[in-house]
Amino acid sequence: MEDRVRVVIAEDSVLLREGLTRLLTDRGHDVVAGVGDGEALIKTITELDAQGELPDVVVADVRMPPTHTDEGVRAAVQLRKAHPDLGVLVLSQYVEERYATELLAGSSRGVGYLLKDRVAEVREFVDAVVRVAQGGTALDPEVVAQLLGRSRKQDVLAGLTPREREVLGLMAEGRTNSAIAKQLVVSDGAVEKHVSNIFMKLGLSPSEGDHRRVLAVLTYLKS
């Protein structure tokens, strides 16, 4: 049996909220409250804390009323700042990198981000709740894959010199090598050398089917 933990659930779907409650209580855990929006979540945690009854972990949907955009994750971030020892596990329909990054921006202790599909894997879901409640981390494999993918892109650009970044930025503005040379007050040959180095560092080999200049700019814009 997992160690018993106290949970607050924030989910606007009554059916899913009741389902999560049943999953956790059947495993011996205490669901001390269930709410349907971010404002109610913050109010509930504040009241429980005032009573000396702060739960071990909050399980919250990323999107909740009234706008169904980011109310849940904003409430989660606010709670993490106010109560560093409170575990926060957010659930999302799909990977939203911005929200995952925002949630993980501070300490990664006691934090989780899972796709809602994982709830169907009951044992793994309950284990994740307990792990986060105890100060661990629970990240969905899809979240990890996307965040690592973005980090790799950033690492590629990190290999460029300041001048190469400047040249790539001007390329992204649609400027030709000659226009870049005039802007930077250097020779056309110097710009050509920088562009060649950019292609090499970004792993863009010559190809008849791909326009390396466009691909370099796309990499820059996505970073």
Say if domain 160-222 classifies as CATH 1.10.10.10: yes
Residue 121 is predicted with a pLDDT of 86
Distance between CA 211 and CA 119 in Å, rounded?
Answer: 44
Task: Report domain 6-149's class.
Answer: alpha beta
Q: What's the pLDDT score for residue 135? A: 87
In a 10 Å sphere around its CB, with 0-12 CB exposed, 13-18 middle and 19+ buried, how is residue 183 labelled? middle
The DSSP secondary structure of 152-181, one letter per residue, reads: HHHHHHHTS-HHHHHHHHHHHTT--HHHHH
pLDDT of residue 223: 61
d(CA 103, CA 96): 11
Distance CA 80, CA 107 (A): 9
Spatial neighbors of 86 by CB under 8 A, at least 6 apart, are 45, 54, 55, 56, 57, 58, 79, 80, 110
pLDDT of residue 41: 95
Residue 32: what pLDDT? 97
Contacts of 222 (CB under 8 A, 6+ apart): 153
Closest Cα partner for 171 from 116, 62, 160?
A: 160
End-to-end CA distance of the chain: 44
Within the chain, all domains assigned CATH 1.10.10.10 are found at: 160-222
| 17 close to 41: Cβ distance less than 8 angstroms | no
Each residue's pLDDT tens digit in the chain (223 positions)?
448 999 999 999 999 999 999 999 999 999 999 999 999 999 999 999 999 999 999 999 988 888 888 888 889 888 988 998 899 999 988 777 666 777 776 666 788 888 888 788 898 899 999 989 998 888 887 766 666 556 555 667 778 888 998 898 888 767 889 989 999 999 999 999 999 999 888 888 775 444 677 778 777 766 6
pLDDT of 210 reads: 47
CA distances 192 to 139, 157, 170, Å, are 44, 18, 13
Contact between 191 and 184 under an 8 Å Cβ cutoff? The reply is yes
Only one residue has tokens 């599909």, namely: 117
pLDDT for position 159: 82
Q: What is the pLDDT of residue 110?
A: 86
CA R_g for the chain: 24
Angle at 25 between CA 17 and CA 138, to 5 degrees: 70
CATH 3.40.50.2300 location in the chain: 6-149
